Amino acid sequence: MRFLRRILRYTLALALVLVPTAQANRNVIYGVNDVSFDSYWATMGPAIVGLGIDQIGVWVRWHCDRDAAPSWIDSLSDNLDAIPPTQAAMVQLIGHPACTPHTRLERQRYARAARDVVRSHPNVRELQVWNEPELWFWRGTIREYTLLLAAVHDALRGTGVKVLGPGFSPSGTLAWSSFNYASFAADVRDYYRASGRRRQILDGFAYHPYWGYERKPTRQIAKVLNAWWEDIPQCPPARGLRFWWTETGKEGTTPGVIQSRSSYWSSVHMIGTPEQQAQRVAYIAWRARTDPLIVADFNFQLVDDRDPDRWQSGLYYIDGEPKPAFYAFQAAIRH
């Protein structure tokens, strides 16, 4: 019965991605972003072998000297030693919200940590500075984030590693918060004019289109960045800046498991059936492939969270069985 279910799911997933691609942009990095890759590589590494992805996304913790209340961030690894050097990776360097760099010295410490990560691990191709700064992850101002980007870009100069940011959630890309793509674009322009800086601070504009992956919002973001950055050294999309979808996907319910959501876990994501998750995964992969502004699509999570009231956007159920989304993503990459 399980084998039959897998065949049916694969057939469904394949049908979802058989869309016209004559004008497709095939220069897309497909990956999976999971906070547990470094801690559980022994089991997670083999699980991606047949998927066909190009890179993995890994979260690395940045330490600071401030006292911070325990949180799930404290469980993140501070190194990538478990991941083989042959595995290309995109790193998100994130600290506890209380560790948000406010001063020049704190920004320098964070930038040095970023440099140490990429020097110690040559398989790192990109580094995203913090994560979803418009939410509770970040306790600083927009200007403090802009300054942190500049510090990291200077520290990684000559390494060949791309600096990504801000890594907005839909709150930032759909302007549901005051720290959003438009206010960030304006602050970057003001920073350049005030400082006289002549180098870039950003190599890729990263965000998480759980919503907002259609052509219209994508073009709106590009339009705003082009307008604000037209005459400053920071390249806008019109001069080559590209979009990195460092988290994408949709949560799929687990048959027989009841979920009761609250707070953050229910407000940022819509939950659907396993088949609806597969459809979303396939469609987003196709959107990335056919839009020249998009260069990367990282599905968030390889395996569902063991807590049913948290993220269930993985490509595997917690028992190790592939979800319909696994076959959808696999087929989308190969198509």
- Domain ranges for the chain, please list them: 2-334
Cα separation, 100 vs 91, in Å, equals: 18
Contacts with 32 (C-beta within 8 Å, 6 or more apart), sequence order: 48, 51, 53, 56, 57, 298, 299, 300, 301, 302, 315
Q: What CATH number is given for 2-334 in this structure?
A: 3.20.20.80
Query: For the purposes of burial, counting CB atoms within 10 Å of the CB of 177, is it exposed (0-12), middle (13-18) or buried (19 or more)?
Result: middle
Task: Check residue 272 and give its pLDDT.
Answer: 86
Q: Is 0.85 topped by the overall pTM?
A: yes
Structure tokens belonging to residue 150: 């500049």
Q: What is the mean pLDDT of residues 98-119?
A: 97
Rounded to an integer, the average pLDDT of 74-94 is 92
Query: How high is the pLDDT of residue 159?
Result: 98
Q: What is the pLDDT of residues 227-275, one digit of tens each?
A: 999 999 999 999 999 999 999 999 988 887 766 654 444 444 568 899 9
Query: Using one digit for the tens of pLDDT, what is the confidence trace for 283-321?
Result: 999 999 999 999 999 999 999 988 877 888 999 999 999
Q: Which residue has the tokens 């999309």?
A: 237
Q: What is the pLDDT of residue 165?
A: 98
